[in-house]
Amino acid sequence: MSRQEIKFTGFGGQGIILVGYILGKAASVYGGRNSTMVQSYGPEARGSACSSQVVIADGGIFYPYVTNPDILVTMSQEAYSKFFPELKEGGILIIDEDLVTLKKTKKKMTMFSIPATRLAEKMGRKIVANIVMLGFFAELTQAVSFEAMEQAVATSVPKGTEELNLKALHEGRQYAQNILQAGKKDN
């Protein structure tokens, strides 16, 4: 895996930019790889589609933008509609199943879903849905080590919220582990 293009999408206010920042930090600061992160907002900062684009590579990154994401993570319908066409053929799509309804497509891909917002609400803080999604993403894709992700979360979230955010990260990881374990039992 020399270069991986990842795009996180949702609407302004969901912490989409933060998860891109955390992923990039996990890869470069704690994972010993190179990474870039570019953010994009719609016409309004809160409520419209936004994205964070992360490129992770073992070598140099000569072009920092995501052109055809290997992995697309989406947490809103508007963002799904806007960014899904960019997903690479054979790529990975990860959605918040309560907020995104898939449209029929002939694109070959692997799709995973998690009720990230619902899980965050059960934790009592809907605001950590992005971190639940990040834990799910980290476990499924292995783009960076989970230990690097934990360190990046702990050093990137507001002081006093580290414990809650790490709990949310583990909640997403556990959900992914359950899906992966169920898949092994089905085979």
Per residue in 10-42, pLDDT (tens digit) is 998 899 999 999 999 999 999 999 999 998 866
Indicate if the pLDDT at residue 44 is higher than 60: no
For the chain, helix, strand, coil in percent to 5 are 45, 20, 35
Count other Cβ atoms within 10 Å, centred on residue 112.
18
Indicate if the pLDDT at residue 150 is higher than 80: yes
Indicate if the pLDDT at residue 130 is higher than 90: yes
> What does the alpha-carbon distance between residue 115 and residue 135 come to, in Å, rounded to a whole number?
13
Residue 46: which pLDDT band, with cuts at 50, 70 and 90? low
> What does the alpha-carbon distance between residue 4 and residue 1 come to, in Å, rounded to a whole number?
7
pLDDT of residue 2: 85
| Mean pLDDT, rounded, for 66-83 | 95
Dig out the tokens for 98 from the structure.
Answer: 């309560």
What's the angle, vertex CA 138, arms to CA 33 and CA 56, rounded to 5?
25
Residue 167, Cβ density class (10 Å: 0-12 exposed, 13-18 middle, ≥19 buried): middle
φ, ψ (nearest 5 deg) of residue 172 = -65, -40
Please tell me the pTM assigned to this model. 0.93
Residue 111: which pLDDT band, with cuts at 50, 70 and 90? very high
CATH of domain 3-186: 3.40.920.10
pLDDT of residue 106: 87
pLDDT of residue 162: 97
The full set of domain ranges for the chain reads 3-186
pLDDT of residue 42: 61
pLDDT of residue 105: 86
pLDDT of residue 60: 93
